[in-house]
Amino acid sequence: MVVQLGRFLPGRTAPPLSRFLKQWDEFLSRCFFIEKGRFTMMICSGSQLKKSFAGTVIFEDVQFEIKDGEKIGLVGRNGSGKTTLFKCISKIESPDSGTIAIKKGAKVGYLAQIPTFASEMTGRNVLESAFGHLVKVEKELKQLEWQMATNVDSMESLLERYGSLQEEFTRNGGYEMESRIARMINGLELGGLVEKPFQKLSGGEQTKVCLGYILLQEPELLLLDEPTNHLDIMAVEWLEGFLNEYPGAVMMISHDRYFLDTVVKKVYDLEEGELTIYHGNYSTFVKEKEERLLQEFQAYQEQQKKIKKIERSN
């Protein structure tokens, strides 16, 4: 918003307060949204996005917004470009034109392919690695405890190091790490997998462990491409609950209509290269889209009638 100072100089009439408030409101609406009585921040937005592969346009002039905490379903037939859009948001692909803005410092969680983990890592180690260097901090804390019990001479320096590490560990949620990992293992039914070497797991099993790994990272924006593949009904139900409680924004691609209906509050429909936004869950989207298509068909029929009438009268 540019405030034009000239308008306030003596001799000029000040703009009505209502106009100023409108401008201010417009400015705020670009940064924050008031939803359910609280300020909501924009996490990601895309404008005028175009992407093509070998001259074939996949999508064009795509605009979207993802606000903090929103749960969005991305739907569209196979090959419509959903995964490509996810890859553009997570910067694995770049759009031919247009811009994608992500809130400064916000983490985007997306699993394009199964990452390579060190060969000695078990499934549990993979889950632990979601907490970054906290695992190392925990190990050092244990070592320091042992050293303090055996080496009384350098107690002062050991205590100092222990204190600062413990503060860091607490601040970053180190003491909740074990319980969060246990919750993930129970929910996604990873019990039989986590003690095995990750490399020895099947593709489907690795995908399941990686889903846990991404969820444990708690990114501000979670992009899930068919997350219910490889999950049985109990784990899908658990994931529904988890995502409903998830504080960050979630955009997901799924062919499971019931799953979408339970989680999403907004649907982005990618069709013939264009993105249309529907507010509501999946069932609302299906109903509204049917109505829209019917209206378009009726308008087309009316237009055809008019054309024929004009042709007859000529």
Ligand X SMILES: Nc1ncnc2c1ncn2[C@@H]1O[C@H](COP(=O)(O)OP(=O)(O)O)[C@@H](O)[C@H]1O
Binding residues for ligand X, per CB under 6 A? 53, 58, 76, 78-84
Measured from the CB of residue 219, what is the shortest distance to ligand X in angstroms?
20
Q: Which is nearer to ligand X, 148 or 214 (CB)?
A: 214
Residues 6+ positions from 265 with CB-CB distance below 8 Å: 70, 71, 72, 279, 280, 281
Q: Which is nearer to ligand X, 209 or 253 (CB)?
A: 253
Among 40, 2, 39, smallest CA distance to 20 is for 2
84 binds, among Mg ion, ligand X, none (CB under 5 to 8 A by kind): ligand X
Measured from the CB of residue 54, what is the shortest distance to ligand X in angstroms?
6
Number of residues that bind Mg ion (CB under 5 A): 1
- Euclidean distance between CA atoms 122 and 198, whole angstroms: 5
Measured from the CB of residue 62, what is the shortest distance to ligand X in angstroms?
12
State the sign of the Cα–Cα–Cα–Cα dihedral 28, 29, 34, 40: negative
Measured from the CB of residue 83, what is the shortest distance to ligand X in angstroms?
3
Stretch that binds Mg ion, among 76-84, 158-166, 270-278, 306-314 (CB under 5 A): 76-84
Q: Exposed (0-12), middle (13-18) or buried (19+): which is 264, by Cβ within 10 Å?
A: buried
Rounded to whole angstroms, what are the CA distances from 43 to 46, 70, 105, 120? 11, 9, 10, 36
76 binds, among Mg ion, ligand X, none (CB under 5 to 8 A by kind): ligand X
Rounded to whole angstroms, what are the CA distances from 34 to 24, 40, 140, 243, 288? 14, 6, 44, 22, 25
Measured from the CB of residue 74, what is the shortest distance to ligand X in angstroms?
8
Q: Is 83 in the site for Mg ion (CB under 5 A)?
A: yes
Beta bridge partners of 275: 270
80 binds, among Mg ion, ligand X, none (CB under 5 to 8 A by kind): ligand X
Binding site for Mg ion (CB under 5 A): 83
